[in-house]
Structure 1
Amino acid sequence: MTIEQPLYEKTLQRDVDFIRGKVTEMYELDHRALSEAIDSFKACNRQQAYSIILRDERIDELEKEIDRLCLEFLVRQQPVALHLRFAYVTIKINQELERIGDYAESVARQVLKISTVTRQPPLDLFEAIANLSISMLESAVKSYLEEDADLARQTMEIEEETNNLRDQINTEMYELHKEKKIPFKSLTPLLTIGRRFERVADQAKNLCEEVLYMCTGEYAKHQGKEVWRILFVDDHNSCRTQMAEGIGNAIGLPKLLFRSAGLEPKEMVDSTIRYMESKNIDISRQSSLSTDHIPNLDHFHIIIALSKRARKLFPKPPGKTICLDWHIDDPSAKEGTDDQIQSAYEETYNLIHTNIQDLGEAILGTQID
């Protein structure tokens, strides 16, 4: 028996509305978690931070439920055109919202780490990036629910502001640490809080790109220049990987973005900063980061290990991340005369510089001067 078209359209719309309702519920949980995350940070409220962490399980449950509903919708309704794109996009947006919940939980965990520290930093930049990211999320979800491509485009344009705020936070926190106004144990959690809210804005932008595809059929992701994200990893992120990040960014390779992290981060070695200054490369504003605080390792196209232990960070196959082993001795651990230590730094610098240049030429397909 053939189902009459009006009845088919009615059941189709009913399923669409139900799925949208679940997405709205997930968004509201994210919004609450993010708002309470910045509030718990401002007030050093450990109880509120714990509540955010405990509620994250509900977001994970909703992700599974929405995935199931979308797959059932595809099987039962056999949608085409806009409704097919709706199901596909909802599955993608569901993933973005789940990650945003993870970022809110991560902020809460950082709050627990620094809540007992007496010397707290100024909060204006943190409030600004949190409010802007949350506002972007609100607009992104509204564009999805209302199928508003214009609102999605307008929201995407705001994302660069959060990048600037994150950079300002990094600069200010590092200066405060150098001036001994905040302890080293607070530096990484504070930088992580800034990055997590910046990542919320990134996810909101991704959500808007999916909305544009749903509304227009045109896929906005990865238009223009594709950026290669490259991560250097070693034991402490205090010397070799800091040199590599500085060299990579100083060479100025188009489409290549360099970051560094350590398995057990320590403060950057002063002799490393001085040596790089002699090469006209300022790494004093770079921060020593833990690999645990690098969000979404799978977003990096290439992970490069500069120590044997760092290889344990390589993702297990199958996977799209390219893993390279550039084991290089740590020049800051070299013992001997000043000339011998300087020679060790020079050897390390030349080796890293050559490897990055060769890798860059392979990626870009052109010779670098």
Structure 2
Amino acid sequence: MNGTGHIVTSFDEDLQEVRNTIVQMGGLAESQLQDATRALVERNSELAQEVIDGDREIDQLEKNIDNMTIRLLALRNPVAHDLRLVISALKIASILERVADYSANMAKRVIALNQAPALGPVSTVPRMSELVRRMIHDTLSAYAEGDASLAREVWHRDQDVDQLYNSMFRELLTYMMEDPRSITGCTHLIFMAKNIERMGDHMTNIAEIIMYEVEGEAPSGPRPKGDKTSMTMLDSEELLSDDKAVE
């Protein structure tokens, strides 16, 4: 094998290691969402704490990916399509770390909710969570397989999550007006639902990166959205960051 061939082979192997680590990171993020949701349904504070603690492992994987991609850029000096693959990996790892943060925040709110009597309107959160969990799973498959068609399908699915969020938002507002004692608990649920909705948004971001990586261009036209809650009390809260940790 000549020197050029060796360099190409080494680059491919290093890049595959990065991609494998991203898939591992995404799998953990998917599990974190599942566990945070189960902790909510079962009122299981111990499981919620495991989700919070598990966020450190995902943070470490992101750091590992950062180090690997920096090494690739420094030693391999990739150009054109190869450079696009490396930059995509950096972006996707950052997004997955954020998704895991949302699950950890959900878990913190579960612990806070468990200090009070159980609330009735919880069922929509698991439904939203399952939609987004499937988006995460399919996005990871699209990334691992270089499947732009599957990525585009995920991209369109985000509006289903938005519509379910809109429905739950209205339901919880009605519940709070009927029973002011539920305001604190319902507010936690609203923020959990918003966290899940944001995860769906992040999956569309990754889907766009995959389409660009495979096809060389991002999808044209406006992103399909169904979130109609703009200018509500939740958006004013976002000035304080809706995904910040619950103290």
The runs of 5 or more residues in structure 1 that have no matched partner are: 227-248, 250-256, 262-285, 297-369
Partner Cα distance (2:230, 2:164) in 1: 19
User: What residue in structure 2 maps to residue 130 of structure 1?
Assistant: 129
- Matches of 1:290 and 1:66 in 2, distance apart? 30
Q: What SS does structure 2 have at the residue aligned with 1:213? A: helix
| Corresponding residue of 2:62 | 63
Contact 1:133 1:201 in 2 (8 A): yes
* SS of residue paired to 1:188: helix
Alignment check: 8 A CA contact 2:105 2:243 kept? no
Find the counterpart in structure 2 of residue 299 from structure 1. none
Match of 1:183, SS state, is: helix
Distance, in Å, in 2 between the alignment partners of 1:122 and 1:187 is 8
In the TM superposition, what is the alpha-carbon distance from 1:259 to its structure 2 partner? 3.3
Q: Could you tell me which of 231, 242, 245 is aligned with 1:294?
A: 242
Q: Percent identity?
A: 24
Runs of 4+ in structure 1 deviating by more than 6 angstroms, as ranges, are none
The 5 A counterparts of 1:176-191 are 176-180=175-179, 183-191=182-190
Give the structure with higher Rg (CA). 1
Report 1:1-369 matches (<5 A). Answer: 3-180=2-179, 183-220=182-219, 223-224=220-221, 258-259=230-231, 289=237, 291-295=239-243
Provide the aligned C-alpha RMSD in A: 2.4
SS of equivalent residue, structure 1 residue 152: helix
What are the Cα deviations for residues 283-316 of structure 1, in whole angstroms up to 9, with x where unaligned? xxx79847445249xxxxxxxxxxxxxxxxxxxx
Alpha-carbon distance between aligned partners in 2 of 1:40 and 1:292, rounded to the nearest angstrom: 25
User: Structure 2: how far apart are the matches of 1:118 and 1:155?
Assistant: 37
SS in 1 for 2:231: strand
| TM score, norm. by length of structure 1 | 0.61
Distance 1:194 1:10, change over 3 A: same
Number of matched residues?
A: 240
Deviation at 1:60, TM superposition (A): 1.4
1-structure distance, mates of 2:238, 2:70: 38
The CA distance in 2 between the partners of 1:30 and 1:259, in whole Å, is 30
- 8 Å CA contact 1:192–1:293 kept in 2: the answer is no
Residue type of the alignment partner of 1:212: M
Equivalent position amino acid for 2:231 in 1: R
SS of residue matched to 2:127: helix
CA contact (8 A) 1:120 1:182 kept: no
Deviation at 1:170, TM superposition (A): 0.6
Distance 1:34 1:119 in 2: 21
Q: What 5-or-longer segments of structure 2 have no aligned partner?
A: none
Contact 1:119 1:182 in 2 (8 A): no
Pair 1:103–1:126, CA change in 2 (3 A): same
Helix, strand or coil: the match of 1:133? helix
CA contact (8 A) 1:140 1:155 kept: yes
The residue identity in structure 2 corresponding to 1:132 is L
**Highest relative contact order (Cα 8 Å, sep 6+), 1 or 2?**
2
1:124 Cα offset (Å): 2.7
In the alignment, residue 111 of structure 2 is paired with which amino acid? L
CA drift of 1:225 comes to 5.6
SS at match of 1:259: coil
> In proportion to residue count, which structure has more strand?
1
Deviation at residue 119 of structure 1 after TM alignment? 3.6
Work out whether residues 143 and 152 of structure 1, in 8 Å CA contact, stay in contact via their aligned partners in 2. yes
Structure 1 residues 290 and 19, CA, compared in 2 at 3 Å: closer, same or farther? Answer: closer
